[in-house]
Chain A
Amino acid sequence: MDKFTVLSAVAAALPEANIDTDKIIPARFLKTTRRTGLGKHAFDSMRYLPDGSENPDFVLNKQPWRQAEILVTYDNLGCGSSREHAPWALLDFGIRCVIAPSFADIFFNNCFKNGILPIRLPREVCDALMADAAMGSNAKLTVDLPRQVVIRPDGQEVPFEIDPFRKHMLLEGLDDIGQTLKHEGEIETFESSVAKELPWMPKISFD
């Protein structure tokens, strides 16, 4: 996973609440067995017209937002399915940071696992960032993870919260599994104590 430290990039505003994971990546594109290559289908129903051509009115089809690496939306971003294809599609498109007043839980988790930083900021701050985003490449946003601030084009700094563990994992680009396996001894101890306490716990086998 790529490290996330400081990102200075064009931001795109999608001023909608409840942007669901079907909207981010429709189910018919989930038939891949890979993590990459989904960027061309990100926001499919908004990005393409029924004949398959690009919708010229959609922000991510316009310059300079085709190069956007930051998305700003309203509440409950990523609601719906647990599909990690949603952050995979965003990442493949080039998005590294998503900013919204609130997120659906699973989507929020899935972002971290892919080096995408989700930031919760109040609605009025999102409104201001959307206004910045509308100014395009003259108004890049800077997301400084070590200092936990979003820096607006006018230099104003907006602080944000993040779990220390998740911050560490993003900054170092670390794999959760490797971290957890350092606790394998504790996992084994736990397993033997449960085996004593609940000896009836069934095992599954179709043989």
Chain B
Amino acid sequence: MAPRTLFDKIWDHHVVETLPDGTSILYIDRHLLHEVTSPQAFEGLRLAGRRLRHPEMTVAVVDHNVPTSDRTQPIEEPESRNQIETLERNVKEFGVPYIPLLSANQGIVHVVGPEQGISLPGMTIVCGDSHTSTHGAMGALAFGIGTSEVEHVMATQTILQRPAKNMRVTVEGTLGAGVSAKDVMLAIIGHIGTAGGTGHVIEFAGSAIRGLDMAGRMTICNMSIEAGARAGLVAPDDVTFEYVRGRPFAPKGDDFEKAVAYWRTLSSDEGAHFDTEVTLRAEDIAPSLTWGTSPETVLPITATVPDPAQEPDEAKRVQMQRMLDYMGLEAGQKIAGTPVDVVFIGSCTNSRIEDLRAAAEVAAGRKVADGVRAMIVPGSGLVKRQAEEEGLDKIFLDAGFEWREAGCSMCLGMNPDRLTPGQRCASTSNRNFEGRQGPGGRTHLLSPAMAAAAAVTGCLTDVRELA
């Protein structure tokens, strides 16, 4: 057999049948549900009189809509409450395993999946959420789907797909001080652009990627979608297997050893063909952030805001100027030193225990700057509990951060955590689109350490200066 990529191997292993025009019926091992993109799919099943084929391969959790403050009171917002109650009725009717709001296991679906051992190497994993790419860090083929496809998976446990092209992004070398997985991914997106990965699945490789812990790999794969890719992947290795071992839904005992033997076959063969190859040197990556309203508008923190006048393409020039106006920035100004109003540390990109430790290291012994609202939103109830066991909550609270309950929170402004018009936010989330964090809100994407640095100085800051 010709050498195959990791993507090819997982794909081939899940093809039920390929139709004459090249579309494949692809089997799905794990289907994750949340309250926002599932109600219409359940309704579709009900109207067609169809059953949900495999509830034991499906898990539902509430995350997008939920308040991250006190949860013992009923949810105030009637539409949010309705969406959550609708999910609760649906999981009951169709027998889907469900993690309720008040469970310690509740959290952001892309934090919960790996944490519970629901997402495992070699699997196909889908969810009605584009950041499903996160689970690619497990060495799984994981991608976001629309609600019609959610219904299709519910009814058939398969999806109709054509194979993606293969891209490999190799990052070799050693990351510098203050440089994290988030900076690596921002640098990659800045390099290839938000459509750079369109039609591709990206395998992340190289010594700098191998050197990352699982949380870092999840951050990288999470933002594959911001590079336009269908999915991101990291080949599973001992770091992965040790992460998986002992998790609630991981195979146990002999089964675990059998699973690992299979998982060890999951890497790209020597000589496998990649349609596109991109290489970055770890040493070239600085602590980075975005200046505009597209995730590709990436700058090292030491840089100045670009000048639209230098852009030859008229449509792009107009768009750059529009971004500067929206963001309230001037061409040529230093990005460092720009005052922030809000700091948000959380989201499926950066809300794991490792992310909170990185932020706490910067926050320890310092105070949130006057006039800045700084929020820490753990990715799950279990992350929150572990952070409290490690005393991180105390560090944050002493410094003046808010210590909140798990959920998507300010990443997408569909729960009470939102920016108000004109507010500038240093955010560890994944999208800086206009209005993403609330109408008129201004988002700078950056790492947890950089976000914490912004909180304690009150402005966008090179975290290395606080070392």
B219 at the interface (CB under 8 A from A): no
Contacts of A87 in B (CB 8 A): 146
Q: A27-B413, A75-B195, A187-B27 are in contact. Are A204 and B249 (CB under 8 A)?
A: yes
User: Contact residue range for chain B?
Assistant: 35 or more
A8 at the interface (CB under 8 A from B): no
B439 at the interface (CB under 8 A from A): yes
Contacts of A187 in B (CB 8 A): 16, 25, 27, 156-158
| A82 x B145 contact (CB < 8 A) | yes
The residue from A17, A177, A191 contacting B48, defined by CB atoms under 8 A apart: A177
| A50 x B129 contact (CB < 8 A) | no
Q: A18-B194, A31-B65, A176-B148 are in contact. Are A80 and B19 (CB under 8 A)?
A: no
| A198 x B435 contact (CB < 8 A) | no
Rounded to whole angstroms, the CA-CA distance of A84 and B435 in the bound complex is 19
Q: A26-B435, A165-B23, A186-B17 are in contact. Are A202 and B194 (CB under 8 A)?
A: no
Q: Which of A33, A102, A109, A203 has its CB near the most chain B CB atoms (within 10 A)?
A: A33
The residue from B83, B118, B251 contacting A31, defined by CB atoms under 8 A apart: B83
Rounded to whole angstroms, the CA-CA distance of A74 and B160 in the bound complex is 27
The residue from B27, B79, B99 contacting A194, defined by CB atoms under 8 A apart: B27
| A–B complex contacts, Cβ < 8 Å, 14 sampled | A17-B316, A18-B194, A23-B435, A27-B412, A34-B40, A35-B147, A84-B148, A104-B198, A176-B160, A183-B16, A187-B25, A200-B255, A202-B249, A204-B57
Q: A180-B25, A198-B262 are in contact. Are A84 and B146 (CB under 8 A)?
A: yes
Q: Which of A34, A194, A201 has its CB near the most chain B CB atoms (within 10 A)?
A: A201
A131 at the interface (CB under 8 A from B): no
What string of 1s and 0s marks CB contacts (under 8 Å) between B71-110 and chain A? 0000001011011001000000000011100000000000
Contacts of B198 in A (CB 8 A): 76, 102-105
**Complex A-B, nearest 4 residue pairs according to Cβ-Cβ distance, in ascending order:** A113-B148, A200-B255, A82-B144, A31-B79
Q: Which of A104, A180, A184 has its CB near the most chain B CB atoms (within 10 A)?
A: A180
Q: Give chain B's interface residues, CB within 8 Å of chain A.
A: 16-17, 19, 21-23, 25, 27, 29, 36-37, 39-40, 43, 48, 50, 56-59, 64-65, 77, 79-80, 82-83, 86, 97-99, 117-118, 120, 128-130, 132, 143-149, 151-152, 155-158, 160, 162, 194-195, 198-199, 225, 228, 230, 249-251, 255-256, 258-259, 262, 294, 315-316, 319, 412-414, 421, 431, 433-436, 439-440
The residue from B21, B29, B258 contacting A163, defined by CB atoms under 8 A apart: B21
Rounded to whole angstroms, the CA-CA distance of A144 and B86 in the bound complex is 41
| B439 x A45 contact (CB < 8 A) | yes
Query: Which residue of chain A has its CB nearest to the CB of B161?
Result: A109
| A33 x B21 contact (CB < 8 A) | no
Q: A16-B315, A35-B40, A84-B37 are in contact. Are A76 and B16 (CB under 8 A)?
A: no
What string of 1s and 0s marks CB contacts (under 8 Å) between A178-203 and chain B? 00110110110011001000111111
A28 at the interface (CB under 8 A from B): yes
Rounded to whole angstroms, the CA-CA distance of A107 and B247 in the bound complex is 34
A156 at the interface (CB under 8 A from B): no
| A203 x B56 contact (CB < 8 A) | yes
Q: Smallest CB–CB gap between B245 and chain A, Å?
A: 13
Q: Give chain A's interface residues, CB within 8 Å of chain B.
A: 15-18, 20, 22-23, 26-28, 30-35, 45, 50, 74-76, 79-84, 87, 102-106, 109-110, 113-114, 163-165, 176-177, 180-181, 183-184, 186-187, 190-191, 194, 198-206
Q: Smallest CB–CB gap between A92 and chain B, Å?
A: 13
Rounded to whole angstroms, the CA-CA distance of A102 and B143 in the bound complex is 20
A80-B130, A81-B130 are known; give 20 further A-B pairs, CB within 8 A: A17-B319, A18-B194, A18-B195, A18-B294, A23-B435, A33-B86, A34-B39, A79-B195, A82-B129, A82-B145, A84-B37, A109-B149, A113-B149, A164-B21, A186-B16, A201-B251, A202-B250, A202-B251, A204-B57, A206-B98
Q: Smallest CB–CB gap between B276 and chain A, Å?
A: 15
| B228 x A16 contact (CB < 8 A) | no
| B27 x A190 contact (CB < 8 A) | yes
| B79 x A32 contact (CB < 8 A) | yes
The residue from B59, B82, B156 contacting A33, defined by CB atoms under 8 A apart: B82
Contacts of A181 in B (CB 8 A): 155-156
Q: Which of B56, B64, B86, B195 has its CB near the most chain A CB atoms (within 10 A)?
A: B195
Q: Smallest CB–CB gap between B92 and chain A, Å?
A: 13
Rounded to whole angstroms, the CA-CA distance of A167 and B216 in the bound complex is 41
| A16 x B258 contact (CB < 8 A) | no
Q: Smallest CB–CB gap between B117 and chain A, Å?
A: 8
The residue from B144, B194, B255 contacting A79, defined by CB atoms under 8 A apart: B194
Query: Which residue of chain B has its CB nearest to the CB of A175?
Result: B48
| B17 x A76 contact (CB < 8 A) | no
Rounded to whole angstroms, the CA-CA distance of A27 and B249 in the bound complex is 32
| A26 x B439 contact (CB < 8 A) | yes
Contacts of A84 in B (CB 8 A): 37, 40, 128, 146-148
Query: Which residue of chain A has its CB nearest to the CB of B99?
Result: A206
Q: Which of A31, A84, A113 has its CB near the most chain B CB atoms (within 10 A)?
A: A31
Rounded to whole angstroms, the CA-CA distance of A82 and B224 in the bound complex is 13
Q: Which of A50, A80, A106, A204 has its CB near the most chain B CB atoms (within 10 A)?
A: A204
Contacts of B29 in A (CB 8 A): 201
Q: Smallest CB–CB gap between B324 and chain A, Å?
A: 15
Query: Which residue of chain A has its CB nearest to the CB of B438?
Result: A28
| B148 x A114 contact (CB < 8 A) | yes
Rounded to whole angstroms, the CA-CA distance of A70 and B290 in the bound complex is 33
Q: Smallest CB–CB gap between A113 and chain B, Å?
A: 4
Q: A110-B146, A114-B148 are in contact. Are A76 and B228 (CB under 8 A)?
A: yes
| A76 x B37 contact (CB < 8 A) | no
The residue from B146, B152, B156, B414 contacting A27, defined by CB atoms under 8 A apart: B414
